[in-house]
Amino acid sequence: MPFPKTVNPSLCGYCLKPGRGFYLDYKNKYFAGCSVEHLEEIKLRLDRGLDLGICATSNPQAVEYAVKQSKSSYISNSLKNDSYKMHEWKAEDRLAFFNIFTAHYLTYESKIANEGTDGRD
Ligand SMILES: [Zn+2]
């Protein structure tokens, strides 16, 4: 079965780093990977029936960063939809906004995961 273009997981199913364009089709479920080696680890984990075993939390600093970075998208979508009430926007515009917000959130998280943080980023 070809990989469906509408399915695009973004985090590695082994280490939760951002995916790097590697994907695994496992019994019609799709997993992202950061490397070929981690795709193999994902397959081993699934073959053994193990859960990922890692819980995620959100980072308030990353949320604040994403809010600031996506402000222009919020304003342009508000003007486009003649409303600052997001629930009055067209669904496709809401989805586009949250895609941008999430991309900024993950960009921030990726940066501090790579470089560390002193809490002032
Ligand atoms: Zn990984």
State the average pLDDT for the chain: 90
Domain contains 70? yes
Distance 18 CA to ligand 1 centre (A): 8
Residue where a domain terminates, one of 56, 75, 101: 56
CA-CA distance, 35 to 12, in Å (whole number)?
Answer: 8
Confidence of residue 4 (pLDDT cuts 50, 70, 90): low
Same domain, 52 and 1: yes
What does the chain look like in DSSP terms, one character per residue?
-PPPTT----BBTTT-SBP-SEEEEETTEEEEESSHHHHHHHHHHHHTT----------HHHHHHHHHHTHHHHHHHHHHTT-S-GGGS-HHHHHHHHHHHHHHHHHHHHHHHHH---S--
Ligand 1 centre to CA of 14 (Å) is 5
- How far does residue 42's CA lie from ligand 1's centre (Å)? 9
The whole-number average pLDDT for the span 63-74 is 96
- Asked if the structure places residue 121 within a domain, the reply is no
Are 23 and 4 part of one and the same domain?
yes
Q: Which two tokens stand for residue 8?
A: 């695009």
| Amino acid identity for residue 6 in this structure | T
> pLDDT digits over 23-48, tens only?
999 998 999 999 999 999 999 999 99
105-116 pLDDT, tens digit each: 999 998 887 888
The rounded Å distance from CA 64 to ligand 1 centre is 26
Confidence of residue 53 (pLDDT cuts 50, 70, 90): confident
| Number of domains into which the chain is organized | 2
Shared domain for 1 and 48, answered yes or no, is yes
Looking at the predicted structure, is the pLDDT value of residue 104 above 90? Answer: yes
- Do 14 and 51 sit in the same domain of this protein? yes
Q: Based on the domain organization, do 51 and 21 belong to the same domain?
A: yes
Whether 68 and 26 map to the same domain: the answer is: no
Which range of residues forms the domain containing residue 34? 1-56
Q: How many CB atoms lie within 10 A of CB 120?
A: 5
In a domain, 4, yes or no: yes
Reported as a pLDDT band with limits 50, 70 and 90, residue 74 is very high
- What spacing in Å lies between the alpha carbon of 37 and ligand 1's midpoint? 8
Q: Is the pLDDT of residue 120 over 80?
A: no
Give the distance (Å) from ligand 1 centre to CA of residue 58. 19
> Distance, CA 30 to ligand 1 centroid (Å)?
14
Residue 54, pLDDT > 70, answer no
Enter the tokens of residue 29. Answer: 């479920």
pLDDT for 102 equals: 96
Amino acid code (one letter) for 17 = K
